[in-house]
Structure 1
Amino acid sequence: MYLGIDIVEVLQVKKLCEYEKQLHKVYTKAELKSVNAFTESKRVQYLAEKFAAKEAFSKAIGTGFTKDIQPNHIEVLYNSNWMPYISLYRSTKDFVISINIEQIYVSLSHCTTYALASIILT
Structure 2
Amino acid sequence: MIFGTGVDIVDISRFERLLEEGNVRLFERLFTTHEIEYCAGKAHSAQHYALRFAAKEAFLKACGLGLREGLTWHDVEVVNDTLGKPELRLHGKARQIFTDMDLSKTFVSLSHDGNFAVAMVVLERL
Is 1:19 paired with 2:23? yes
TM-score relative to the length of structure 2: 0.89
The one-letter code matched in structure 2 to 1:83 is K
Query: What displacement does 1:74 show?
Result: 0.5
Counterpart of 1:30 in structure 2 is 34
Query: What displacement does 1:11 show?
Result: 1.2
Q: Which one has the largest radius of gyration? A: 2
The question of whether the paired residues in 2 share the 8 Å contact of 1:74 and 1:88 is answered with yes
List structure 1 segments (4+ residues) > 6 angstroms apart after TM superposition: none
- Number of residue pairs aligned between Structure 1 and Structure 2: 120
The question of whether the paired residues in 2 share the 8 Å contact of 1:75 and 1:86 is answered with yes
Instruction: Give the Cα–Cα distance (whole angstroms) in 1 for the partners of residues 63 and 40 of structure 2.
Output: 30
The one-letter code matched in structure 2 to 1:34 is Y
> Which runs of 5 or more residues in structure 2 are unaligned?
none
SS in 2 for 1:103: strand
Instruction: Give the Cα–Cα distance (whole angstroms) in 1 for the partners of residues 100 and 18 of structure 2.
Output: 32
Matches within 5 A, 1:28-107: 28-39=32-43, 42-66=44-68, 68-107=70-109
TM-score relative to the length of structure 1: 0.92
The question of whether the paired residues in 2 share the 8 Å contact of 1:58 and 1:69 is answered with no
For 1:66-95, what per-residue CA distance to the aligned partner results, in whole angstroms no more than 9, with x for missing partners?
261211210001112110000011111111
Give the fraction of aligned pairs with identical amino acids, expressed as a percent.
27
Instruction: Give the Cα–Cα distance (whole angstroms) in 2 for the partners of residues 66 and 48 of structure 1.
Output: 21
Instruction: Give the Cα–Cα distance (whole angstroms) in 2 for the partners of residues 91 and 33 of structure 1.
Output: 23
The question of whether the paired residues in 2 share the 8 Å contact of 1:79 and 1:85 is answered with yes
Query: What displacement does 1:7 show?
Result: 0.3
The one-letter code matched in structure 1 to 2:7 is I
Instruction: Give the Cα–Cα distance (whole angstroms) in 1 for the partners of residues 4 and 60 of structure 2.
Output: 11
> Which runs of 5 or more residues in structure 1 are unaligned?
none
Instruction: Give the Cα–Cα distance (whole angstroms) in 1 for the partners of residues 95 and 79 of structure 2.
Output: 16
Query: What displacement does 1:15 show?
Result: 2.9
SS in 2 for 1:63: coil
